[in-house]
Each structure stands twice: as C-alpha cells, then as structure tokens.
Chains A and B, each alone.
Chain A
Amino acid sequence: MREVAVVSFAQSAARREPARNEVEILMPVVTQAVEASGIPRHEIGFTCSGSCDYLAGQAFSFVSAVDALGAWPPIVESHVEMDAAWALYEAWAKIQCGMADSALVFGFGKSSPGEIRDVLTLQLDPYYLAPLWPDTVSLAAIQARVLLESGKASERDLAEVAARSRRDAAANPGAHQRDPSGVDELLARDYLVSPLRVHDCAPISDGAAAVVLAAGDLARKVCDRPAWIRGIDHRIEPHALGLRDLATSPSTRLAAEKAGLGSVPPEVAELHAPFTSQELILREALSLDAGVRVNPSGGALGANVVMAAGLVRIGEAARSIREGEASRALAHATSGPCLQQNLVCLLEAD
C-alpha cells in the first residue's frame, strides 16, 4: 500500500445559509483547502466529491459544483452520491493504484431548504418501508429505545453526550450548535420523539468541507506533520431494521478491524453520530474507553452538514494530528438509517 496523508482541511462555518447557494458556499472552502495544501491546483491529480440530489431538490445537482473547481483544462474527476468520506475512499483507492499522487476531496449540502428528517425517509425501501413515511428522527428514537432497554445506557448518558458535544462545539468555529447547559438542565427539557430530546439530535446545517490528500514524499514535502491514513474500510448492514440488533454496530466493528484498529486505542476519535444514542453505540463497537477523547470538535451534534459531516470527521481527526494534539486518531462516517453503513479511517503521525 502507498502511504497517503491528509495534508489540508477546510470547512465553512456551518449554519443555516438562506442567502448562498451550494457553489457559493463551496468555492472559498475548496480554494482554502487547496491553498493550505501547498500543491498548485492544476497539479492535483484527482478530484472526488460527495453530495445528494435530494437535498438540492434537483437532478444532477453536483454538476454545478464543477464550477467551483476551476476545471479548465479539464480535470480527472468523479462523484459519489454518498457522504464525502466515501469520496475520500475513492480518491485514496485512485492514489493506491498509482493513477494520482494527490487528490482534492469535498462534500457539500444544504439541509435547511427542505425538511431533512422527512427527506431522508426517501432512503428507505420504496415498496415496504418508505410508504409508511417513518422519518429519520423517529427511526433513531426506535434505535435509542432499543439501546436504553438493553440496559447499556440511560437517558442521563445521552444527555451527557449532548452536553459535552455542545460545550466542545462552542470552541469550534466550524460548528454552530453551542450551548453551555448542564446535564440536569437538558434532562428537564421536553421530548422531541421519546426518548430523544432536541439536544439528542443533530442540528440543521448547511455547508461544505474539503480535504487534500497526498502520497508519500509529496505529502512530506508540502506538510510538516502529515496525518497518514494507516487504514480505511467501510461496511454495510442489512437495510430492514428488523434484521438488525439496533443497539450494536457490527459494520463499524468490522470496518475498524479491517482498517487495522487493533488493540492500540486512538487518542482522539471523531465519530459521525447525528444522535447521542448513536455515539454510545459506536463507542462500544469501537471499544473506546473513557481515555479516548471523543469528538473534540463537537461532532455531528455541533454541526451536521449532511453529505460532508463524515468527511469533516476525517478532516478534524487529521487536524488533531497535524496540530500535534494526537499521534493516533480515528475518524468515522455513517450513512443510512440507524447507522446502516459505516466507514472507519485510522490516521497517525509519522
């Protein structure tokens, strides 16, 4: 395997963005990531992005994103209709087969124009599940209920995840869900969909994020402390919720094993958990004990740019390495209802 590192990361300040369209949000982010990489734009060998037509309400919505790239002369470019963490996976594979030495990866999306919890219902089996119109918060609430009834967690545990995430998000300029409330204060609030309260759910965020990857010597040349991707893998579970034990995440566990997590714990873990209950499920699947600093960025509970939030986890984990806060970090991305599909990326300093 070739050595590949994250050499730069940029993101917009996530928030509701009624005034700017996706390309306007994306353009400065891409420019910032490319400039920070130290690799001239026209020398970047591959570009790959992740986004979703159903957020924009438009077929081929990713096409206009090419306008944000300065794609002239024409570029080698691809797109996944997935969180951009999977675009990073495609780019990593492209570098592995020697067809590029560097790659620009980005994700973007605006959740605020639609009702994201209803829009995500369209991900469900179109014949047997979607017509019942279960929204994504309700499905997550079922999952949270299964977790609580398994005895592995309490509502107080959920609130503790929320309080920590909101506190950490306050220090992250990329996040916007900031709140100094304590656990007791949060627990006194009403349910949104029992057992989930508003603070158990990710906020509605619009935004974009971009990462530049570089291989071996190029990474060393442009970056003082590259965040090396030591392993990356992703796995999927059955779609029908009735076929899964929702209180566990076997696909996360398997992806971590394949990515080479092993027995050495990371110092930092950035987990893509849009619901507090999901963070607890992921921590167990990854065997993260109390010594691991989880989501210092505030995680998806601090900002949840759908289609970029997974890539942001990789970017934040890489940042913690590049800034010397950690020498081994784990990043995770998820897709689908109730953590159906999961990606794990292990990053290390030299």
Chain B
Amino acid sequence: MAELCGVIGIGQTRYAAKRGDLSIAGLVREAALRALEDAGLEWKDIDAIVIGKAPDMFEGVMMPELYLADALGAVGKPILRVHTAGSVGGATAIVAASLVQAKIHERVLTVSFEKQSESNAMWALSLKQPFQVHVNAGAGGYFAPHIREYIHRSKAPDNIGILVAYKDRLNALKNPYAHLQIPGVTPEQIEQSPMLWEPIRFLESCPSSDGACAMVLADERNAERSGRSVAWVRGTAMRSEPTMFAGRDEVNPRAGRDCARDLYAQAGITDPRRDFDMAEIYVPFSWFEPMWLENLGFAEEGTGWKMVESGATMLDGDMPVNCSGGVLSSNAIGASGMVRFAEAAIQVRGDAGEHQIDGARLALGHAYGGGSQFFSMWAVSSEKP
C-alpha cells in the first residue's frame, strides 16, 4: 500500500513578461523559498528535488538543473529533471509525489519554471527538421484547427471563447500572482482584439511569461506534524498517445479521457461535476475550456459550451474553473501545469484569498501538452483519504 502524500507548502513568483530583476536561478529560488516558508521548513529538511520545465531551448540552457543544483539546495541530494511537453508541470508534481508515496523520501521539493524572456519560444518551436512536417505558426496555429473542428461538431455559438476569456481575465484580477491583469476588461474589448488564428483572438490567448512554481510534498507523518493545512493527494494519473495517426481524435483525445477515468477511480469520483468543488484546467486558448470540460467528463460530448454559456464555470458557478485566471492569464510554460496542480491545492487549503471558493474540499489539477497527446492530472482534498 502506498504511503499518503500531502502538499504542505506552495510558492509562486509573480508572473510577468520579463523578470529582468532575476536570473534563472533567482527565479526558481524565489518560488522555492516561498514554498519552504509556507511549509515552515528549511533547505536542510528537504530530502530530494524534482524539477520540471518545457524545452531547454526556451532559455538556451541545456539540462539547466545541473546549473541550478546549488540554487535549489540540491547539493548532496538527489535531483530529477522531468520533461513531458506542456504537461510537464503536472508530470513533475506526480513524479515528486511518487517518491513520497513509494516511501523513498519523506519530504520532497518540486519546482517548475520557464523564463521565456531569455529566448523566443516561437523560434524554439519552429526549427526546421528533416523528414518532419514543419510547423512555423507556434502553438496557436497548431491548435486553431482543432478548435474549428470542435465548433463544427458541437455547433457552439461564436461567442463561447470570448465568455471563457472574459471569465478568466476577471478571475486574474483577484490573483496577485497573475501576469495579465486588465482592470475594467469587457467582452467587447476581447471581441475587438486582433484575430490571431481564426477563431482565436489576441485576448483569448495565453501570454508568454517568466515565472516559477514550487511545492513541498510530505508523507503522512511529516504532513500532520507540519502544523500546516494539508492538501492530500487523492490520485494521480498520466497518459500519452502518438501525435498523429489516422482516425486520431484530436478534439476529444482518448488519452485525456482515459487519464481522467484512471484518476477518478483512484479518488472515488463518480460524477466529477458533483464531486469536485473546483477545477484548474490547462486552457492556453479560450476554447479549450469547453473542449476539456467534455474530455474530463464534466459535460456530455458536444455540450461543454453550454456549461460555459450558463455561467457554471464562473467563480460563483456550480463548477468553478480556473479561479486563478488560468493559463490565459499566466503562462510560464514549464510551470503552467504545476500552477494548475498548486492552485487546486491552494483552494482545498483555503489559501486562495480573493479567488477562494468557499469550503472547497476536493479540487482537480489538469495539464496537457504536445499535440493534445500528453496528459497529467491530480485530485487533492482537504480530507485525508
């Protein structure tokens, strides 16, 4: 039987287009120190470090955990570096949790980051390779056809993406760490923003951010004696499928559905919309909210947009989604998945401040990556399993 694992400390940097005040080491350290402080621990209390980030070309440093060993207090300890595309922040937290659940370590620090201002993600994603389809349009150009297919299948009205973006931008105003904060934002302002990749407008897209997120995970004994509120890990799941093959459903990928089913079985969830009090879902472009609501089983296939339209996913709805402002408001790519996991934990610990859902007990953290082919998820609860 696996050991229990709980989140006892969480730290985030302020996300911004350019954190020129910090080196890469300074950035990860800012998040890590906040997580340690939140947990009431010091560097010496940490047994191992698990770090994740998206492609090394985003900063131009190969395997940066080698250089970051000192800044993360890893000297003399084990440090693992995870990289699973956009889902990496979630996958990193899951690897860290597994070290606790396996009873290998008692307290693990997990960190993820991206310092996009050091390089150019668009360039890093657009290097031409022999014998491969050359995608020169960044992530938005890749995902826009999937969204168009979703609209075609579900017959969703045009304004759904705008509703999602408006909600997340309102939520971001309540999150002091959020990168994009647009006071007085209106749906009209979003609608009038430039169309980048039909049907994705500028204000329906995620920004490029610098930032880091860190968590301290502990076993049952250490979590209970920490004196901190604990977000207990109720389940973790990962799934991958190939990027392309004939018949693959990129709008509602099977890997995401299987991953959710696995997670819900572990956490005893039978009706996600009823059982979860909130969800942090990886939505880099507005329309992915209704798409993932269906993929995750919060709505029947073809009806995710109705859930958005009804206001159910707003802060005061019955199934609040992305109360933090989500990826649409802060996107330090390698950290974005972990931020989802951490924000779910923050909610069940009751620490979310202005974007807190009253009485949140069970929350979902979700991340995806690649061509909608890598998924990582966890469920956290204020109640010990």
Contact = CB atoms under 8 A, between A and B. Distances in A.
B103 A58 contact: no
Contacts of B94: 78
B129 A66 contact: no
A236 B373 CA distance: 32
Given A127-B23, A238-B75, A59 B124 contact: yes
B196 interface: no
A5 B211 CA distance: 40
Contact of A122 (B3, B61, B76, B129): B61
Nearest to A120: B62
B56 A78 contact: no
A312 interface: no
A53 B55 contact: yes
Contacts of A130: 61
B336 to A, nearest CB: 15
- Interface of A: prevailing SS: mixed
B63 A64 contact: no
A267 interface: no
Interface in A51-79: 52-54, 56-60, 62-64, 66-67, 69, 71-79
B127 A76 contact: no
13 contacts: A58-B127, A60-B125, A73-B241, A79-B84, A81-B56, A99-B101, A124-B67, A126-B24, A233-B78, A238-B70, A335-B63, A341-B66, A341-B79
Interface in A134-164: none
A60 B85 contact: yes
A254 B48 CA distance: 14
A112 interface: no
A292 interface: no
Interface string B1-13: 1110000000000
A74 B83 contact: no
B66 A97 contact: no
Nearest to A237: B75
Contacts of B56: 52-54, 81, 122
B78 A53 contact: no
Contacts of B80: 80, 82, 86, 89-90
A235 interface: yes
Contacts of A78: 82, 84, 91, 94-95, 238
A16 B336 CA distance: 38
B257 to A, nearest CB: 9
Contacts of B125: 59-60
